Amino acid sequence: MNNFNFYNPTKIIFGKDRISELDKLIDSNAKVLVLYGQGSVKRTGVLDKVIAALGERKVVQFGGIEPNPTYTTLMKAVEIAKAEGIDFLLAVGGGSVMDGTKFIAMAISYQGKNSEDLLKPGFASKHVIHAIPLATVATLPATGSEMNSFGVISHKAAKYSVSSPLVFPQFSLLDPSITFTLPPIQVANGVVDAFVHTVEQYVTQPVDARFQDRTAEGILKTLIEIGKQTVDHPTDYDARANLVWCASNALNGLIGAGVSQDWATHLIGHELTAMFGIDHAQTLAIVLPSLWRVRKENKHAKLLQYARRVWDINEQDESTAIDLAIDRTQEFFESLGIKTKLSNYGIERDKIDDVIDALNANGMTALSETRDLGLDVSKEILNLAY
């Protein structure tokens, strides 16, 4: 097992009907900026419940954060927060609102001349020395943003990962029943995103990390068991509760501690979102099966373990067992209603060259846990995924 530091300070408030507890969780003197997306929380009544729970505190609202939150929109919230003397941020929404709120928390306190610098790789973790405290009411189980220190921000047709230990949410309120209103495709997206987060940290190089491996396998098996159930039966509380807790644990640092991590599927996928607007999880469903087929030899040991332990494939021939596991994975995504081919999204094949150019421009030339997935391999993967 590799050396690691593990730190996760986020308190989780999990279960039904807990929004009223916000009053106890946030300092009574805090001036709170409540942030939300493009209106779902208004339609579902969640925003009203949140505002009611905040009681007599000074509360300002900022709505309109878009899926794949943009720097430009987030900087408008920063101006408002500064003008209003805000000292606590409450994100009410999915990954986009939670990520955007983390960026806002850093940008409010950032003293440098240009807040765009915060988007540079590794910049925030080195240069951000203060951030406004934040918390979340998570309405979409997918990204794990409710329990990690990452945010993905879109700016000028590119996506930037930002991270700082200062933007772990102080607490996250996870009520599975407030996710019942999600459209089926967003639930399916959530299952796929949590699944791919898990395999990015598990189908890598073996380091004899048995707890992390078996925990990852537990998440994957749970997602396979409840994935279709929670898409088809949105108000089945227990199925949804299992998705919510799997999604948080897939990317809260636990299964990634001390293991080798890939993230190539995500980094290639981010270009597909930036370029074509394909939903984040759908880009992962396109890239992952082809990436595994192309990288079958590099990942042989863990792909075989995945086949045997996650899909219970007993086929003796190792190569055939791995092929079956990859096929089953792709069928699983399709069974949720997620298309797994680039051509399914109306993209012309010759656009693959543009994606490769964008990967090159963004420095994504040595991806994967072994840093040997270059542009030629990305091209092979995307052609296979077409």
Closer CB to ligand NZQ, residue 143 or residue 201?
A: 143
44 binds ligand NZQ (CB under 6 A): yes
**Which residues, including other chains, have CB under 8 Å from residue 202's CB and lie 6 or more apart?**
212, 213, 216, 217, 220, 255, 259, 302, 306
- Give the count of alpha carbons within 13 A of 288, CB side only: 33
The angle at the Cα of 249, spanning 248 to 254, to the nearest 5 degrees, equals 135
Closest CB 140 distance from Zn ion, rounded Å: 12
Closer CB to ligand NZQ, residue 199 or residue 251?
A: 251
Contact 213, 257 (CB under 8 A): no
Contact 145, 99 (CB under 8 A): yes
Instruction: Quickly tell me which residue has 């300092």 as its tokens.
Output: 27
Contact 233, 239 (CB under 8 A): yes
Closer CB to ligand NZQ, residue 74 or residue 182?
A: 182
The angle at the Cα of 294, spanning 375 to 250, to the nearest 5 degrees, equals 90
Two tokens, residue 88: 């606590």
Closest CB 335 distance from ligand NZQ, rounded Å: 19
Closest CB 358 distance from ligand NZQ, rounded Å: 15
Closest CB 144 distance from ligand NZQ, rounded Å: 5
299 binds ligand NZQ (CB under 6 A): no
Closest CB 321 distance from ligand NZQ, rounded Å: 28
Query: Which amino acid type is present at position 361?
Result: A
295 binds ligand NZQ (CB under 6 A): no
100 binds ligand NZQ (CB under 6 A): no
Report the residue from 93, 133, 169, 256 that binds ligand NZQ according to the rule CB under 6 A. Answer: 93
Report the residue from 186, 249, 329, 330 that binds ligand NZQ according to the rule CB under 6 A. Answer: 186
Q: Which residues are registered as beta bridge partners of 159?
A: 154
Eight-class DSSP state of 70: B
Which of 89, 83, 107 is closest to 32 using CA atoms? 89
The CA distance from 54 to 45, in Å, is: 15
| Among Zn ion, ligand NZQ, none, residue 150 binds (CB under 5-8 Å by kind) | ligand NZQ
Report the residue from 101, 164, 179, 212 that binds ligand NZQ according to the rule CB under 6 A. Answer: 179
| Among Zn ion, ligand NZQ, none, residue 302 binds (CB under 5-8 Å by kind) | none
Alpha-carbon distance values, 224 to 66, 161, 194 (Å): 30, 28, 11
The CA distance from 34 to 70, in Å, is: 17
33 binds ligand NZQ (CB under 6 A): no
| Among Zn ion, ligand NZQ, none, residue 269 binds (CB under 5-8 Å by kind) | none
Binding mask 200-239 for ligand NZQ (x = CB under 6 A): ----------------------------------------
Q: According to CB under 6 A, which residues from 110 to 169 bind ligand NZQ? A: 139-140, 142-145, 148, 150-152
302 binds ligand NZQ (CB under 6 A): no
Q: Which residues are registered as beta bridge partners of 173?
A: 13, 137
Task: Give the SS3 label for residue 154.
Answer: strand
Closest CB 354 distance from ligand NZQ, rounded Å: 20
The CA distance from 87 to 100, in Å, is: 16
| Among ligand NZQ, Zn ion, none, residue 148 binds (CB under 5-8 Å by kind) | ligand NZQ
Using CB under 6 A, list all residues that contact ligand NZQ: 37-41, 44, 67-68, 93-97, 99, 139-140, 142-145, 148, 150-152, 178-179, 181-182, 186, 189, 193, 251, 266, 280
